[in-house]
Amino acid sequence: MSAIALRLPQKAEVWLFDCGEGTQHQFLRSDLRVSQLRRIFITHMHGDHIFGLMGLLASCGLAGNIERIDIYGPPQIHEYLQACLRCSQTHLSYPLKVHAVEPGVIFENEEFTVSCGPLHHRVPAFGYRLVEKDRPGRFNVECARALGIPSGPVYGQLKRGEWVELPDGRKINGASLCGPTQPGRKFVYCTDTIFCDRAVELAQQADVLVHEATFAHLDAQMAYDRLHSTSTMAAQVAHLAQVKQLIMTHFSPRYAPGNAIGLDNLLEEARAIFPHTKMAYDFFTYDVPVSRE
């Protein structure tokens, strides 16, 4: 079932994309901590993407140290959660904020911007794009000392690339004392959807694109009938969007071991179009590398 955890070590936070049935049990089997869960992004209201949500939220209250959880998703997500809480008489011991998303920026802080865009599925579905903001390069302390700049709060301003005026009247550009800018990384999550231009737009220049690949190319007609993607459609999105790494997920059980067409076939089909393709599996992890200009 769909559930992708994005770990942000610098913030000691975990952000979750979709929450299929059994997600809380998978948390217990991983090295992730439920107490660090802060944001959940739901793509659409089909059960294989939301049936684990209520159980996970109830368990979060038992984990302690939960300041607040923000949930983003289609407008129906609020009604669904309210019905679950009411009918099960569940009380959450922490604040829960639900955000009905619309295309565009849905969250921004000093480090990240998250936006969403509509996909093409049987029900309203959204893809999500998370962009890490660029950061100044390494601050050259030795150079600052050689210029006679006294240490203190001014170093913080210089590290951020700001202009500062010293007591002696000199004006120093902090950017000149920093190394190359560290470009922010881009993570994109697209499911469920058939191939569409909006997915390509959302995935532009992504470091990592997680894209559904429910069917093999040989079963393309089923993909069109059910508005899901084939492995080749996922690869086409990655190729057209010029992403660095494609990770396919959301495979149909029809490709389980022992069947005529297996998951290896889907991987071969995708790599024929986009070589930098991997297949997700339970507890698969991928470290998004930091690039430098």
Q: Tens digit of pLDDT for each residue in 80-111?
A: 999 999 999 999 989 999 999 999 999 999 99
pLDDT reading at 136 higher than 80: no
String of b and e for 99-116 (b: at least 16 CB within 10 Å)? Answer: bebeeeebbeeeebbbbb
What is the DSSP-derived secondary structure letter of residue 15?
A: E
Residue pair 256/219 in contact (Cβ under 8 Å)? The answer is no
pLDDT tens per residue, range 230-285: 999 999 999 999 999 999 999 999 998 888 899 999 999 999 999 999 999 999 99
Residue pair 36/64 in contact (Cβ under 8 Å)? The answer is no
pLDDT at position 268, please?
Answer: 97
Q: Homologous superfamily of 104-134+183-293 in CATH?
A: Ribonuclease Z/Hydroxyacylglutathione hydrolase-like (3.60.15.10)
**Please, is 70 exposed, middle or buried when counting C-beta atoms within 10 Å of its C-beta (0-12, 13-18, 19+)?**
middle
**Please, is 199 exposed, middle or buried when counting C-beta atoms within 10 Å of its C-beta (0-12, 13-18, 19+)?**
buried
Both structure tokens of 234? 């996922």
- Residue 101, SS3? coil
Do the two domains 1-100 and 104-134+183-293 of this chain adopt the same fold?
Answer: yes
Q: How many CA atoms lie within 13 A of 223 on its CB side?
A: 25
Percent of the chain with pLDDT over 70: 99
pLDDT at position 293, please?
Answer: 54
Query: Mean of the per-residue pLDDT values for the chain?
Result: 94
Provide CB contacts within 8 A for 189, sequence distance 6+: 4, 17, 41, 43, 127, 128, 129, 210
Give me the sign of the Cα torsion angle 217, 218, 223, 228: negative
Ranges of H-type helices in 100-178: 141-146, 153-159
Residue pair 74/18 in contact (Cβ under 8 Å)? The answer is no
The identity of residue 4, as a single letter, is I
Ranges of H-type helices in the chain: 23-28, 47-50, 53-63, 76-88, 141-146, 153-159, 197-202, 220-226, 231-241, 263-273
The identity of residue 152, as a single letter, is G
Fold of 1-100: Metallo-beta-lactamase; Chain A (3.60.15)
Distance CA 163, CA 182 (A): 19
Residue ranges of domains in the chain: 1-100, 104-134+183-293, 141-177
Residue pair 265/216 in contact (Cβ under 8 Å)? The answer is yes
Q: Which of 31, 48, 197, 282 is catalytic?
A: 48
| 48 catalytic residue (yes or no) | yes
Mean pLDDT of 6-12: 90
